[in-house]
Chains A and B, each alone.
Chain A
Amino acid sequence: MKRYLLLFVAFILVFSVVGTFSSAKPVAKAQDAPSGTFLGTWPYTLPPDHHLNGFDASGLDTNLGVVYRQIVELTPAYYMWATNEYLPMLATEWGFTEDNSAYYIKLREDALWSDGTPITADDVIATYALARITNYFSVFSGGYISDVVKVDDYTVNFVFAGEPSLVAERGILKSSISAAASYGDLPQRALDMIASGAASDSEEWAALKTEITEFRPAQLLASGPYTYTLDDVSDSYMTLHWQPNSIFSSSVKFGEIRLWAGETEATTPLVLSGDIAHSTNVYPPSTQQAFADAGIRLLIMPRMYGPALLFNFDVHPFEVKEVRQAIAYLIDRSENAFLTNGLGATATVYMCGLLDSSVPVLMNQEDIDKLNRYELNRDKAAELLESVGFAKNSDGKWADADGNVIAAEYKFPAEFADFSAAAQNAIDQMNEFGFDITPVATPWQQTAQDIRDGNFELSVWSWASGSPFSSRQFFGPIQRFNYVGLTDGQKGMNFPMEFEYNGETINLDQMIKDASNGLDIEVQKQRAGQIALIINDLMPFIPLNVILSTEPWNEDLLAGGPADDDPILQNPSADHFIVLYLLNGTIGPAN
């Protein structure tokens, strides 16, 4: 028996070693497809969790993500942040109707699905009918659009529920259009449901919503130059195959898009070994350095958020404005940024709730000039604390007249290397200044829950967002983690959003919600300026720094990557340059 066991083990070992050094992969190529394989990564799931439904949370959005879904199911247009303009994709024309009651898009008449059938207004109508029942698109969940109307075979009007909105425009132009034929009779039933006037909280509406989300399309009809089936999804990578019928089929330079599974830990060795040519994952500074040392270029792009120091306004003395302002002055944000993400983070400059790169676009210069930049000034911080009754005690700690030291627990998510580094450095700097701050590392879900529940004293979470609109950038964290944006009695930061300010009663929550309404950019700038100045003065949170995306780009495998000063690198992940550069053939395989 023992002999057999030993023989078996020896057999396994020998077989493994033989297999190791004699592998050869046959790679099937579609006829007429361009040569070369783009080697990227995306953390998709495996079938049966992985499916081809574009209106379910575990469908295409999860498995292709915001980057790769757009090369399979095209959007009407592509947004360039540097020039604030949309470039045509599936649509040739778009805009507000003359009376501004609706937004229209006109599709390219030569656009085809991967099965060769034309892409028409009926597909747009079907897409929005399914999205309306499932509340899947922001134009519906945000209440911007009340109806979607077919004008002719290639033109669709989106009727505004209220005033016309640039936010809705982005929602319309950035949403992928799905093929009606992939969803059987569901689009028609959705249209019938909407036409019947059924309420969105009715049972029949909910039943149809369930039916739509549980539907599993047998095939993915693609408008982009790549498509795939569930057979192309393996546990190590999934492969998108070139298809000949897209308007971009002749311009793309890759025959396949191979997306490796896994997050940062799994993809790090694959990037170093050259199995992945480009990755959108977040890598810590030491790994970035390893990539650079290996000759792999790092592309730097905005990530449109950063860590913010959050105050609980129920915890004394953080409800005192001067204390918060003092903290803003005492933290060296450049040091904090470097320790957060190496060269992939920059210190916040304007300290007003809008990203520094967006401030010149979203605000008037007059208002920008009024912003206090809270440049490092510890004397000023001390002065502010003294102005509200604090003084340093014999231990070198700041204490009030009763001897109560400024002390707090600072909760941060242990798994988020960037946020935890930002928090720990802020703690070090505050303690060095004379506070008594205790770090408390918790699992990220716990941290998020505690912030929502108001079960924290100081914490860290993101501020701003990847949107070109001020209302969305202001949203985090003073709405997202404050009572106005929470539910079920959660208090979050409990920063009062209605208050007296300069002799006026202010409803900051409503001001932010209205900030991007309408079409008048100048009016929007004025609104944004007002809000920014209030936030800049009250400092309800400290925007410590802005994190940049540092994405490895292997030039031994990829040609045509953007130069460092290419304006497209101002686009964040939501409008990733890969989408445009893959489709128009700017990037291709290296020789």
Chain B
Amino acid sequence: MGAIPFRRTDQPVSQPSLWSLSKRLLRAVYRSYIFRVTVQGILTLWVVTTCTFYMIRKMPNNPIEVKIDEFQTKQNLTYEEARSKVAGLFDYDPDAPFIEQYTDYMGNLVQGDLGRSITTGRTPVSQQIAKYLPWTLFAVGLGLLISFVIGMIAGAAMAYWRGTVFDNVMTAFASISYGIPDFVIAFMILLIGGIQLELFQVGDYIGSVDPEIKAGFNPEYIRSLLQHVLLPVTTYVLASVGGWMLTMKSSTISTLGEDYITVAHARGLSQRRILFGYVGRNAMLPLMTRLAISVGFVLSGSIIIEYIFIYPGLGKYLFEMTGKRDYTTIQGIFLVTSAAVVISNILADLLYGVLDPRVRVGSK
């Protein structure tokens, strides 16, 4: 060990200059993981926005042509009649150069303006998103939470009692559930549960809430909210819980085979402590990452489920606006959902480090 160099007290202390402080600060910021992922996230969003801006406009037809088609079909108009009827109705010029449209859009975007809907009376896109987003967060978020919790518990139990009848039955259920598309499950619930077995009146479960009940924080309204979200949530849970169960089972089995579990058994630790303190926590790690990413996808809703149950979420709205080629609205929804995915990815990385101290995602 070398001698520690001491500074003589009579030597003048050199004060760091403002420049060197700034440099140090900048270096620290640059090396900061959060800063880098934030910049990375912003760049990702810019690339996604640019790509979607281009791709959306490359879709066949534009808002005006779609409306002309609609007028021609529904009102038996000639092309010229339909075009003159549509002219001026939409705040959109299909002949404007692409780059001009792009710079206009990005210029507004950096000021926080998502633009106005082209086809629906120039409603601000942000207003539309704010209107539909809460319903999606409520329905899909609740569904995700329930399926995650059930999936974790059932998956761990399947792994723990693997090879038993319980495991075999649950694995079969999970595989079937995971393999059936969500819209098929939705129709099965409606047609078998509602029509064939008459377990419920279909109309009482469609939409977001009973229109006859006045909105407010009262038991009747809350009950109606829960009643109307029941079928979308059940569909979402049935369609996704299988995935969680199988992942958790696989992860738990893998954890159960780890040396430290064997050691824990050898040390005579109780089953309960091994199960919850050792197996559960470690087996959950891959699921937490997936959960965080899934949270991002919650915002895009579940298009078909919302469409079938006439649930007024963002997914259903996106579907309708895509049919109308409402570029600004589609763009706004894509931006918000992309941002959610990017942010949830960042959170997933950070969360992983918290859950598993061995993994430190930092500046090194």
Residue of A with least CB distance to B145: A9
Residue of A with least CB distance to B205: A20
- Asked if A404 is at the interface (CB within 8 A of a chain B CB), the reply is no
Tell me the bound Cα distance from A446 to B212 in angstroms.
41
Q: A237-B207, A445-B60, A479-B78 are in contact. Are A57 and B201 (CB under 8 A)?
A: no
- Asked if B344 is at the interface (CB within 8 A of a chain A CB), the reply is no
Q: A45-B120, A235-B310, A486-B79 are in contact. Are A23 and B66 (CB under 8 A)?
A: no
Chain A residues closer than 8 Å to B81, beta-carbon distance: 138, 141-142
Tell me the bound Cα distance from A16 to B226 in angstroms.
5
Inter-subunit contact B60/A450 (CB<8 Å): yes
**Which residues of chain A from 43 to 61 have a CB within 8 Å of any chain B CB?**
45-46, 48-49, 51, 56-58
Inter-subunit contact B202/A5 (CB<8 Å): no
Inter-subunit contact A236/B88 (CB<8 Å): no
Tell me the bound Cα distance from A58 to B307 in angstroms.
20
Inter-subunit contact B76/A467 (CB<8 Å): yes
Inter-subunit contact A266/B206 (CB<8 Å): yes
Residue of A with least CB distance to B313: A235
B65-84 vs A, CB cutoff 8 Å, 1 = contact: the mask equals 11101001111111111111
Inter-subunit contact B212/A485 (CB<8 Å): no
Inter-subunit contact A12/B76 (CB<8 Å): no
Q: Which of B187-195, B244-252, B294-302, B334-342 contacts A (4 or more CB under 8 A)?
A: B187-195
Q: A6-B149, A214-B121 are in contact. Are A235 and B208 (CB under 8 A)?
A: yes
Q: A23-B204, A138-B77, A266-B310 are in contact. Are A206 and B120 (CB under 8 A)?
A: no
- Asked if B37 is at the interface (CB within 8 A of a chain A CB), the reply is no
- Asked if B12 is at the interface (CB within 8 A of a chain A CB), the reply is no
Inter-subunit contact A234/B230 (CB<8 Å): no
A254-270 vs B, CB cutoff 8 Å, 1 = contact: the mask equals 00000011100110011
Inter-subunit contact B212/A27 (CB<8 Å): yes
Inter-subunit contact A272/B195 (CB<8 Å): yes
Inter-subunit contact A58/B120 (CB<8 Å): yes
Range for the number of chain A residues in contact with chain B: 35 or more
- From A16, A269, A448, B190 is in contact (CB under 8 Å) with A269
Inter-subunit contact A448/B60 (CB<8 Å): yes
Residue of B with least CB distance to A266: B310
* Chain B nearest CB, measured from A40 CB (Å): 13
Tell me the bound Cα distance from A276 to B187 in angstroms.
17
Tell me the bound Cα distance from A254 to B145 in angstroms.
44
Q: A6-B149, A46-B312, A272-B191 are in contact. Are A57 and B89 (CB under 8 A)?
A: yes
- Asked if B328 is at the interface (CB within 8 A of a chain A CB), the reply is no
Inter-subunit contact B224/A19 (CB<8 Å): yes
* Chain A nearest CB, measured from B150 CB (Å): 8
- Asked if A188 is at the interface (CB within 8 A of a chain B CB), the reply is no
- Asked if A530 is at the interface (CB within 8 A of a chain B CB), the reply is no
Tell me the bound Cα distance from A23 to B88 in angstroms.
47
Chain A residues closer than 8 Å to B75, beta-carbon distance: 66, 138
Q: A56-B121, A443-B60, A475-B78 are in contact. Are A213 and B89 (CB under 8 A)?
A: yes
- Asked if B235 is at the interface (CB within 8 A of a chain A CB), the reply is no
Q: A12-B226, A275-B203, A449-B65 are in contact. Are A239 and B122 (CB under 8 A)?
A: no
Inter-subunit contact A214/B122 (CB<8 Å): yes
Tell me the bound Cα distance from A135 to B75 in angstroms.
14
Inter-subunit contact B227/A20 (CB<8 Å): yes
Tell me the bound Cα distance from A58 to B61 in angstroms.
19
Inter-subunit contact B208/A19 (CB<8 Å): no
- Asked if A3 is at the interface (CB within 8 A of a chain B CB), the reply is no
- Asked if B200 is at the interface (CB within 8 A of a chain A CB), the reply is yes
Chain B residues closer than 8 Å to A260, beta-carbon distance: 203, 206, 310
**Which residues of chain A from 532 to 550 have a CB within 8 Å of any chain B CB?**
none
- Asked if A574 is at the interface (CB within 8 A of a chain B CB), the reply is yes
Q: A48-B121, A467-B76 are in contact. Are A261 and B227 (CB under 8 A)?
A: no
Tell me the bound Cα distance from A9 to B142 in angstroms.
9
* Chain A nearest CB, measured from B6 CB (Å): 51
**Which residues of chain A from 463 to 486 have a CB within 8 Å of any chain B CB?**
465-467, 472, 475, 479-480, 485-486
- Asked if B3 is at the interface (CB within 8 A of a chain A CB), the reply is no
- Asked if B117 is at the interface (CB within 8 A of a chain A CB), the reply is yes
Tell me the bound Cα distance from A12 to B222 in angstroms.
11
Tell me the bound Cα distance from A6 to B145 in angstroms.
11
Inter-subunit contact A445/B61 (CB<8 Å): yes
- From A27, A209, A446, B60 is in contact (CB under 8 Å) with A446
Q: A141-B77, A237-B211 are in contact. Are A9 and B311 (CB under 8 A)?
A: no
- Asked if B287 is at the interface (CB within 8 A of a chain A CB), the reply is no
Chain B residues closer than 8 Å to A58, beta-carbon distance: 119-121
Tell me the bound Cα distance from A294 to B202 in angstroms.
15
- Asked if A136 is at the interface (CB within 8 A of a chain B CB), the reply is yes
Tell me the bound Cα distance from A461 to B274 in angstroms.
67
- From A25, A45, A142, A462, B73 is in contact (CB under 8 Å) with A462
- Asked if A97 is at the interface (CB within 8 A of a chain B CB), the reply is no
Residue of A with least CB distance to B320: A45
- Asked if B85 is at the interface (CB within 8 A of a chain A CB), the reply is yes
A124-140 vs B, CB cutoff 8 Å, 1 = contact: the mask equals 00000000001110100
* Chain A nearest CB, measured from B128 CB (Å): 8
- From A273, A486, A574, B195 is in contact (CB under 8 Å) with A273
Chain B residues closer than 8 Å to A489, beta-carbon distance: none
Tell me the bound Cα distance from A48 to B228 in angstroms.
22
B84, B120, B121, B308: which has the most chain A beta carbons within 10 Å? Answer: B121
Residue of B with least CB distance to A135: B84
* Chain A nearest CB, measured from B267 CB (Å): 25
**Which residues of chain B from 85 to 127 have a CB within 8 Å of any chain A CB?**
85-90, 117, 119-123, 127
Inter-subunit contact A273/B203 (CB<8 Å): yes
- From A20, A445, A487, B83 is in contact (CB under 8 Å) with A487
Chain B residues closer than 8 Å to A48, beta-carbon distance: 120-121, 123, 127
Residue of B with least CB distance to A24: B220
Tell me the bound Cα distance from A260 to B145 in angstroms.
30
Inter-subunit contact A236/B87 (CB<8 Å): no
Tell me the bound Cα distance from A142 to B79 in angstroms.
11
Inter-subunit contact A19/B202 (CB<8 Å): no
Chain A residues closer than 8 Å to B65, beta-carbon distance: 448-449
Inter-subunit contact A270/B59 (CB<8 Å): no
Chain B residues closer than 8 Å to A46, beta-carbon distance: 131, 312
- Asked if B34 is at the interface (CB within 8 A of a chain A CB), the reply is no
- Asked if B210 is at the interface (CB within 8 A of a chain A CB), the reply is yes
- Asked if B360 is at the interface (CB within 8 A of a chain A CB), the reply is no
Inter-subunit contact A15/B146 (CB<8 Å): no
- Asked if B223 is at the interface (CB within 8 A of a chain A CB), the reply is yes
A2-26 vs B, CB cutoff 8 Å, 1 = contact: the mask equals 0001100100110110111011011
Residue of B with least CB distance to A265: B308
* Chain B nearest CB, measured from A54 CB (Å): 13
Inter-subunit contact B191/A269 (CB<8 Å): yes
Tell me the bound Cα distance from A560 to B163 in angstroms.
63
Tell me the bound Cα distance from A486 to B83 in angstroms.
10
Tell me the bound Cα distance from A480 to B72 in angstroms.
9
Inter-subunit contact A448/B61 (CB<8 Å): yes
**Which residues of chain A from 549 to 578 have a CB within 8 Å of any chain B CB?**
574
* Chain B nearest CB, measured from A57 CB (Å): 5
A83-115 vs B, CB cutoff 8 Å, 1 = contact: the mask equals 000000000000000000000000000000000
- From A15, A213, A262, A450, B226 is in contact (CB under 8 Å) with A15
* Chain A nearest CB, measured from B47 CB (Å): 25
Chain B residues closer than 8 Å to A18, beta-carbon distance: 223
Tell me the bound Cα distance from A23 to B190 in angstroms.
18
Tell me the bound Cα distance from A485 to B78 in angstroms.
7
A-B contacts, 6 listed (Cβ < 8 Å): A57-B86, A138-B75, A260-B310, A266-B310, A272-B202, A480-B79
**What are the 6 A-B residue pairs with the smallest beta carbon separation, nearest first?**
A236-B207, A275-B203, A234-B211, A49-B120, A273-B202, A449-B60
Q: With contacts A206-B88, A213-B88 known, what are 6 further pairs, Cβ within 8 A?
A: A20-B227, A23-B224, A135-B85, A213-B89, A260-B310, A487-B79
